[in-house]
Structure 1
C-alpha cells in the first residue's frame, strides 16, 4: 500500500465525520490529511521514476519494490 493511502483513507473518514457532525475543524483536518496523502503518493511516484531513470542509465535490470 502506498505510504499516502492511509492518510487519504483517514482523511476521508474525518471529512465525512466532520460533515455529519457539523464540526468544521474535523472536516478541514480530513481534507488536510487527504492532501497530505496525495503529496506522499506523488513523492513516491517521483522517487520510483527517478530510480527507473537511474537504472536505465546504469543498465541495472533488477526490479525494485
Structure 2
C-alpha cells in the first residue's frame, strides 16, 4: 500500500467535493461535473490501491 497514493486520492476527493459544493453556490454546472469527475478519479485511485494491496497479500501468502 502506498500511503502517498492514498493521500493523493483523498486530496483529489476533497478537492472534488469542494468544487461540487462551490458549484451549488455559484450555479455553475461545469464546476459540478468537474467536481464529480475528480471524486470518481479518486475512487478509481483507491480501487487501484486496493487491487495492489490484495495482489501483494496473495503473493506474500503463496
Q: What TM-score do you get using the length of structure 1 for normalisation?
A: 0.83
Larger relative helix fraction: 2
4+ runs of 1 displaced by more than 3 Å?
none
User: TM-score, normalization: structure 2?
Assistant: 0.87
Where in structure 1 are there 5+ consecutive unaligned residues? 58-65
Q: Which has the larger radius of gyration?
A: 1
How many residue pairs are counted as aligned between the two chains? 57
Bigger relative contact order, structure 1 or 2 (CA pairs below 8 A, ≥6 apart)? 2
